[in-house]
Amino acid sequence: MSTAEICWCVSGRIEQGELITDLCEAIKIKNGQELAALAHQGIWKCIPSTDSTGDVTGVSLVEKLDQIAPSYCVGRVTQASKRGDTVLVKLSPSCKITFRSTYKLAVAGLYKLSFEPIFRTSKRTTNNTKIVTKNIHIIKY
C-alpha cells in the first residue's frame, strides 16, 4: 500500500468552473480549464483542498468513475491541535489536507482515514463542506 494517497468521490455536475454536488453544494474546481468539455453529471474522483479548519475550498478532479467508491486518505500527520481533533495530513510536499476527527491522532503517525464530506450551513458562507473522518485505521508508526 502506498504511504500517501487519497480517494474522494463526489456525485455532481460540472458548471462554470464549479462542481455542483447532488446536494447543491458548489465547490470550485482548480483544474476546471482542462475539464471544460465535461459539463455533465457524473461521479468524480477528487483531491480536495482545505483551509486550516477543514473546510473544503476547492477540488482538483482526477477522473470520472462509473460508480461511487469509499472515500479514504493515507498520509502522515504533520500537525495536530491541542485537543487532537483537527489534524493536518501530508500527502505530498505540495498537498496537505486538514481533517476533523473524533479520535486523537499522533503527530508523525501514518494513518488510513475513511471520511465523508459533511455539508452544512455556516455563518461565513451559505454552503460549507467540511471533511470529517468516520473510521481511523492505523497503518504504522
User: Which of 72, 52, 63, 85 lies closest to 117, judged by CA?
Assistant: 72
Cα separation, 22 vs 4, whole angstroms: 28
Q: What pLDDT, in 10s, does the model give residues 12-39?
A: 988 888 888 888 888 888 876 666 565 5
Are 46 and 79 in contact, with CB atoms under 8 Å apart?
A: no
pLDDT at 139 over 70: no
pLDDT at 137 over 80: no
Q: What pLDDT, in 10s, does the model give residues 39-72?
A: 578 899 988 888 877 788 888 888 889 998 888 8
pLDDT value of residue 126: 46
Q: What pLDDT, in 10s, does the model give residues 106-116?
A: 898 888 888 87
CATH architecture of 72-140: Beta Barrel (2.40)
Q: Which residue has the higher pLDDT, 122 or 27?
A: 27
Are 98 and 6 in contact, with CB atoms under 8 Å apart?
A: no
